[in-house]
Structure 1
Amino acid sequence: MPLAPAGTTWPQYATCDGPMQFLAQVLLDDLGRHAGQGTAEGRDVLALFMCQNDPGMCEEWDPQAGGNRALVFPAAALQPIPVPTLDEEDDQEPVLLGAVSAVAYEMPSTAADYGQACNEWAGQPGRAPLDVLGQLGGQPAWLQNDETPACQTCARQMRLVVQLKEERDHATAMNFGGRGEAYAFACEPCTQAVFLWQC
């Protein structure tokens, strides 16, 4: 369930007039502690939403097309956003994933990059590459071209908050085009965020 300041309305996509699906929420304080950066002040959370009413038609992979939202909220006084109700005859996808995914954080690897760290982790007994759900902070491991955004307010390059994979459990998996990966960036001083995915 997404948390936001009182009065926040559920994000909708203007073209299909449908509510977006809530994907994940990340405490930016976690980014500072776990990524070893120590710069986050614990004041903000990042909430990610994406249109799934007609996958592929709302250009939900594009950071500028309006098919997704990355919203930064102050951490104080958050409460659940009222969930929109869908008509029984409505063809829209659910606004929440089918189940909550329990995620464990692994301490940063000494590997040179994200791909090498995934392979190193999965090489241990009882672990599979599909169990890795992404990374918190660090450098994005692009599947295609580098699309690191600049903040529209201050023009500085945004930093990666989280990179997400689809996951193998269909009940909790996000739809990034089939084995795709998503990237969420933020400029904390400007409280701006960007979300996109590649496959």
Structure 2
Amino acid sequence: MQFLAYLPLEVGVIAVFFCQNDPGMCDDWDATSGANRGFVFGGQLSAATVPAQGETLLGAVTSLRPHPADTPTTEPVLGRLGGEPDWIQGDETPGCPSCTARMTFTAELEEGSDFATSANFGGGGRGYVFHCHPCGAAAFLWQR
């Protein structure tokens, strides 16, 4: 799985991963297929140091930061935190794998503006991140 995003929560962070092994061959659009995962970590995490030697597989790394929705910006907006999901196809809010309760919407992610380094959400799709606060579970899916 490829690391996709690190998202802040009030009680920690969610790390999002999705399958990019032969894209299109694993069901990475489905929150329950096992082809993608979200992990909730309590406390603060820090990024690993990039090795001085060897091959890294990411063509680029983008650092995202929250930006108030009511403030103009010249920077590209690549998603949003909180609120309600803007579904492309229809509501697919997952149930928590532990307690089966409907999970809380956390973030919406855009593919990115550069085809060479953007996430593969089927071409023009959006990713959706959810979590269950009581159980400490997270889920990720995308639609196109």
Q: Where on the TM-score scale, by shorter chain, does this alignment land: which range?
A: 0.7 to 0.9
1:164/1:182 contact within 8 Å kept: yes
Counterpart amino acid of 2:63?
A: A
More strand by share: 2
1:167/1:173 contact within 8 Å kept: yes
Instruction: Give 1:61-80 correspondences, 5 Å limit.
Output: 61-75=29-43, 78=45
Alignment match of 1:54 (pick from 5, 11, 22): 22
TM-score by length of 2: 0.83
Percent pairwise identity: 48
1:101/1:172 contact within 8 Å kept: no
Q: Specify every segment of 5 or more residues in structure 1 that has no aligned partner in the other structure, as ranges.
A: 1-19, 30-41, 110-120
More divergent stretch after superposition (141-150 vs 98-107): 98-107
User: How many residues are matched?
Assistant: 140
Q: CA offsets, 1:162-186, max 9 Å, x none?
A: 1000111235411111010000100
Q: Which has the larger radius of gyration?
A: 1
Report SS of the residue matched to 2:61: coil
Q: Specify every segment of 5 or more residues in structure 2 that has no aligned partner in the other structure, as ranges.
A: none
Shift of 1:106: 2.4
TM-score by length of 1: 0.62
Shift of 1:48: 0.6
More helix by share: 1
1:154 aligns with 2:135: no
1:61/1:198 contact within 8 Å kept: yes
1:181 aligns with 2:133: no
Counterpart amino acid of 2:66?
A: Y
